[in-house]
Amino acid sequence: MTTITLNPDGTATRSRRIIGWGEWSAFLYLLSQYPTGIPDSVLEQFLLSRFGEQVPGGASPTAPAAATGIKLTPAETRKLGNLASRAEEKVADVIRSRGGSASNVKQAGPWAQKTLGETAKAAVKGDATAETAVKIAKQARRLGQ
């Protein structure tokens, strides 16, 4: 699969990803659940949970944090890991887009309605509930199964 990402400076980055047997088998299972065709929203949710990016034709793609104005410290970026580019999104939205359940969103507590960037800032400062919310967002794919 080839992905082209538009950078804030106007350049484009092309990346390739090999889709493994596990992803193909998950897709085939999903396909078997909808004999008349997979609804667009279900397909988008599936692709988001596997690849973590918005897909063409769906909702607006998320801009990298640098493009939206959120400034993360190196510690906050480390805390978020691969979710650092989604720092401006609400924690609840990130959890759901990664395959998490309503129970996972509820576990995030009051941080579910805050942005991932705000939550990371609090987690770095030692807030245990914010730390939990970040962990749930990062592990939502595994927790939602």
**Residue 38 binned pLDDT confidence (cut-offs 50, 70, 90):** confident
DSSP state of 62: P
| 40-99 per-position pLDDT tens digit | 888 777 776 766 544 444 444 444 444 445 788 889 988 998 888 888 889 998 888 888
For range 16-26, the mean pLDDT? 76
pLDDT at 11 over 70: yes
Quick one: 133 exposed, middle or buried, by C-beta within 10 A (0-12, 13-18, 19+)? buried
Task: Classify each residue of 119-128 as buried b or exposed e, where b means 16 or more C-beta atoms within 10 Å of its C-beta.
Answer: bbbbbbeeee
Total-model pTM: 0.53
The pair of three-digit structure tokens given for residue 134, joined into one six-digit string = 């970040």
